[in-house]
Amino acid sequence: MAVESEIRAERDYMDACRAQLTRMREEVRTMLATGAGEGEAVLDKYFNHALRQFRVQVLEELSDIEGAPLFFGRLDCPPGDLVYVGRRGVRDGDGEPMVIDWRAPLARAFYEASQQDPMGVRVRRRFGFDRHGVLTAYEDEPIDRQAEPNGLLAAEIERPREGPMRDIVATIQPEQMRLVRAPLNRTLCIQGAPGTGKTAVGLHRLAYLLYTERERLRRDGGVAVIGPNHSFLAYIRNVLPALGEVEVSQTTIDELIGLSVTAERTDDPRVARIKGDARMAQVVRRHLWSRIQPLGQTVEVEYQHRTWRLSPEEIAEEVDTVLSRGADYGTGRELLAQRLAYLVLRQMERAGNPTATPHQLRRNKAINRAVGRIWPTADPARLVFDLLTDRTHLAHAANGILSADEQDAILQTPRPRSVKAMRWTSLDLALLDEVAALVERPRKLGHVVVDEAQDLSPTQIRAIARRMAGSGTVLGDLAQATSPSAVQDWAEVLAHLDQPDGQIEELTHGYRVPAQVIDFAARLLPHIAPGLRGPASFRHSDDALCITRTMPGEKIAATVTTCRTALSKEGSVGLIAADNDIPQLHRALAENGLKHTVLGTGTETEHLTLVPVTLSKGLEFDTVIVFEPARISQAEERGLQRLYVALTRAVSTLHVVHADALPEPLAQESVVTS
């Protein structure tokens, strides 16, 4: 049959492309092994090193990702050109393109050609694949006609979910592609309801920017993705490598800024609101600079049996000069030491006896001792420790900035015995970073993608801003903000990022959650984010939502049964519960022989994952079972927001199991109960 022979021909072409990719890889490998193209002279060694590094990276980029087809689309462009579009470019032995990279200018037509603007395309072909990546179908779309609903897109969206996140290059939608391809020089804040593809867009945007602006981004310090926790980072870790991008650092905010300390506890909500507030930056700054003290005595510098004297007035004048320059704390300190050395040198010159060099005097003990007392070295941990645990220090630094009540709230009592004994919070780390950056500017990044940014405090956003050499892509959903110290809106985020030209965009179509489930979860929106609406869902099915009310003594058994039933079907299963309920559910699942992974405790290998609700952000499972919504909503100040996150993780089905009454907005009228 024509279709079958066509599919066979396309598979053959795929095989030919794979063979060429293997050849390309082998060529680079051989060049690496033989050092082809490398010079021999010593002077060439930096060039050789750079060339080798480059080749190693190309080799990684050319690696074949198992199960990821080399192309997913084809453009039929008259008079007779066929252009295949894939995850990376493949060339034949003569250097002719066999597949073009989805980010290449020519590939734009694959996403954008329409009846109104055919862009030289006659037919767009999309390919379908089985779960092993074997080409099994295609769908042709003549561009000169009104677009029909896209069956392969629907199939991709409906696909039962399993394992980590995958790339969406084959089916990126126009509203998403516009953001992926937005120019590098402008920061984007992308608001979007759950499942609208924010994470997907952020990652694909990074891959796109690396393709179009790789050298500039590298020169500016590279790129990074910042996510909320390691479970989330593990979930997205395969997307960029599958797109050939292996050089992207993926990190949490704590890792990005947490010098030598880690966060071991969380602040209570009132404390968090104050500590995360941008006013704390002023408090920290004042605390640091207040350490600069006049010396009040003459400094005697001995050099080769003679003594040179610097009066307190002369020294004070030098301190004022340095302060007026507005240098960093650390630079200022060095500058002061140099200026004191010059003062001595000038005295020597006046005495006609300049026996020392500026460098020698700079290292003089008396000068160093004096600088140490006037302008002490700053250890960020020590400084923030003093600020948060010593009432006098805090009062001095926060006077006129924080009220007495606010100072009381953040003062840590009893005072830990030492800096080492201090148990830091994430928000403390941002304060440490504030100090560290005043001493020495941190390393910059060419572009950052910040996911789940709705939870960041102003101080954390400032920490990111300090590392941005250029622009960023900020993703989030204000309705999912669970952190008490979080910013209020995207305009505030742009202000703290110091990106006044940044643009706020919105994604409105949902690709994850079925309409029935999103409608149920959206009942919470008037209570948690009155200005926001749920997405228009692409997914519809009548039995996507199931609510089971049980007697209190039966809810665990009912949950186990629901898990067992869900496991008999295709796709991943996530059982989401309040963090405090995880141990009892873990025991119950184990006692009933249901193999599962507890999220956050190791590698996720089982079909069933038991998810502490505080780790559920950004994740998705084919079937989600939410255990006792009321216990989730009551566990924290923004418990309803947390519940909204939990209810919007499902791709096919959401089961709610409860014995306690549902939180009021969900209880309004019964939905589907069993």
Binding-site residue positions for ATP: 192-199
Contacts of 19 (CB under 8 A, 6+ apart): none
According to DSSP, residue 249 is labeled: E
Instruction: Out of 73, 86, 128, 192, name the contact with ligand ATP by CB under 6 A.
Output: 192
User: What is the distance between the alpha carbons of residues 564 and 567, in angstroms, rounded to a whole number?
Assistant: 5
The answer to the question of residue 620 lying near ligand ATP (CB under 6 A) is yes
Q: Which is nearer to ligand ATP, 166 or 339 (CB)?
A: 166
The answer to the question of residue 173 lying near ligand ATP (CB under 6 A) is yes
Instruction: Out of 69, 73, 128, 197, name the contact with ligand ATP by CB under 6 A.
Output: 197
Separation in Å, CA 652 to CA 83, 538, 559, 568, 599: 35, 12, 18, 14, 20
Q: Please, which of residues 644-663 interact with ligand ATP by CB under 6 A? A: 648
Q: Are 112 and 177 in contact (CB under 8 A)?
A: yes
Instruction: Out of 152, 172, 370, 461, name the contact with ligand ATP by CB under 6 A.
Output: 172
Closest contact distance (angstroms) between CB of 231 and ligand ATP is 13
Q: Which is nearer to ligand ATP, 459 or 641 (CB)?
A: 641
At residue 395, what are phi and psi to the nearest 5 degrees?
A: -60, -40
Nearest to 445 by CA among 104, 102, 187: 187
According to DSSP, residue 356 is labeled: S
The answer to the question of residue 512 lying near ligand ATP (CB under 6 A) is yes
Instruction: Out of 20, 187, 191, 196, name the contact with ligand ATP by CB under 6 A.
Output: 196
Q: Which is nearer to ligand ATP, 232 or 329 (CB)?
A: 232
Q: Which is nearer to ligand ATP, 168 or 487 (CB)?
A: 168
The answer to the question of residue 157 lying near ligand ATP (CB under 6 A) is yes
Instruction: Out of 10, 156, 433, 628, name the contact with ligand ATP by CB under 6 A.
Output: 156
Residues touching ligand ATP: how many (CB under 6 A)? 22
Instruction: Out of 51, 73, 113, 171, name the contact with ligand ATP by CB under 6 A.
Output: 171
**DSSP symbols for 175-242:** HHHHHHTS-TTS-EEEEE-TTSSHHHHHHHHHHHHHHHHHHHHHHTT-EEEEESSHHHHHHHTTHHHH
Closest contact distance (angstroms) between CB of 409 and ligand ATP is 32
Mapped onto helix, strand or coil, the DSSP state of residue 640 is helix
Q: Which is nearer to ligand ATP, 198 or 467 (CB)?
A: 198
Instruction: Out of 101, 277, 477, 622, name the contact with ligand ATP by CB under 6 A.
Output: 477
Please list the residues that pair with 624 across neighbouring strands.
574, 654
* Sign of the CA dihedral running 512, 518, 524, 526: positive
- Scanning 45-53, 190-198, 372-380, 490-498 for contacts with ligand ATP by CB under 6 A, the matching segment is 190-198
Closest contact distance (angstroms) between CB of 518 and ligand ATP is 11
Q: Which is nearer to ligand ATP, 337 or 481 (CB)?
A: 481
Q: Which is nearer to ligand ATP, 225 or 356 (CB)?
A: 225
The answer to the question of residue 622 lying near ligand ATP (CB under 6 A) is no
Q: Which is nearer to ligand ATP, 170 or 367 (CB)?
A: 170
What amino acid is encoded at 532 in this protein? L
Closest contact distance (angstroms) between CB of 172 and ligand ATP is 5
b/e burial code for range 355-392 (CB count within 10 A of at least 16 → b) = ebeeeebbebebbeebbeebbbebbbbbbbbbbbbeee
User: What is the distance between the alpha carbons of residues 558 and 568, in angstroms, rounded to a whole number?
Assistant: 16
Mapped onto helix, strand or coil, the DSSP state of residue 275 is helix
At residue 475, what are phi and psi to the nearest 5 degrees?
A: -120, 145
Residues tagged in the binding site annotation? 192-199
Q: Please, which of residues 200-259 interact with ligand ATP by CB under 6 A? A: 200
Closest contact distance (angstroms) between CB of 189 and ligand ATP is 13
Which position's Cβ is nearest ligand ATP?
197
Closest contact distance (angstroms) between CB of 97 and ligand ATP is 25
The answer to the question of residue 456 lying near ligand ATP (CB under 6 A) is no
Number of C-beta neighbours around residue 567 at 10 A = 17
Compute the 3-state secondary structure of the chain and give helix, strand, coil in percent, each to the nearest 5.
45, 20, 35
Closest contact distance (angstroms) between CB of 116 and ligand ATP is 21
The distance of Cα 300 from the centroid of its chain, to the nearest Å, equals: 53
What amino acid is encoded at 131 in this protein? R
Separation in Å, CA 633 to CA 454, 637, 662: 19, 8, 9
Judged by the rule CB under 6 A, the positions of this chain that interact with ligand ATP are: 156-157, 165, 168, 171-173, 176, 192, 194-200, 477, 511-512, 618, 620, 648
